[in-house]
């Protein structure tokens, strides 16, 4: 195992998520004012869950990066693109209050995550499995965003 590569792989999604959270953190009080669905978690849970998910993403990207598979570069491009789309979602939801566009971004993100999982699976199945919580959380975020779009 190459420690430096692993650490960098984990830092990248944490950094991207951290910048996005920093740019939208003043808007989190908006979350409490929205008409939320019955299963909406408290706002304090989001940073904990996202930190965990970003760490799992980083570990999985490290496994792909270290592989010698011919599809490695393609898989990492898909990973980077989904990470960028992930970065954009809170800006549209919290900063711009554009719940419809945020919903559309989540749908694109969900498609990209599924594509990433399928690509990762062919390279390193465990890298795919590490991202299943991310897929499930994004599905839950889609439910939350849809409810907010319909009811706010």
| Domains in the chain: ranges and CATH | 3-25+42-151 (1.20.1260)
pLDDT confidence of residue 18: 96
CB 97 within 8 A of CB 20: no
pLDDT confidence tier of residue 145, bands split at 50, 70 and 90: very high
Cα 70 to Cα 17: distance, rounded to the nearest angstrom: 29
pLDDT confidence tier of residue 45, bands split at 50, 70 and 90: very high
Cα 43 to Cα 21: distance, rounded to the nearest angstrom: 12
CA 32 centroid distance within chain: 22
Q: State pTM to two decimals.
A: 0.94
CB 65 within 8 A of CB 72: yes
- Each residue's pLDDT tens digit, 68-105: 999 999 999 999 999 999 999 999 999 999 999 999 99
Weakest-pLDDT range from 20-29, 89-98, 124-133: 20-29
Residue 1 has pLDDT above 90, yes or no: no
pLDDT confidence of residue 59: 98
């Amino acid at each position: 195992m190459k420690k430096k590569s692993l650490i960098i792989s984990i830092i990248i999604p944490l950094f991207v998520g951290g910048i996005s959270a920093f740019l939208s953190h003043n808007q989190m009080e908006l979350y409490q004012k929205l008409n939320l669905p019955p299963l909406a978690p408290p706002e304090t849970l989001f940073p904990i869950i996202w930190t965990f998910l970003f760490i799992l993403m980083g570990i999985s990207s490290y496994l792909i990066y270290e592989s010698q598979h011919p599809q490695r570069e393609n898989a990492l491009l898909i990973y980077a693109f989904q990470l960028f789309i992930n970065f954009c979602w809170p800006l549209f939801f919290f900063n711009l209050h554009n719940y419809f566009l945020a919903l559309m971004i989540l749908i694109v993100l969900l498609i990209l995550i599924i594509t990433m999982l399928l690509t990762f699976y062919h390279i390193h199945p465990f890298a795919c499995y590490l991202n299943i919580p991310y897929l499930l959380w994004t599905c839950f975020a889609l439910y939350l965003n849809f409810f907010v779009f319909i009811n706010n």
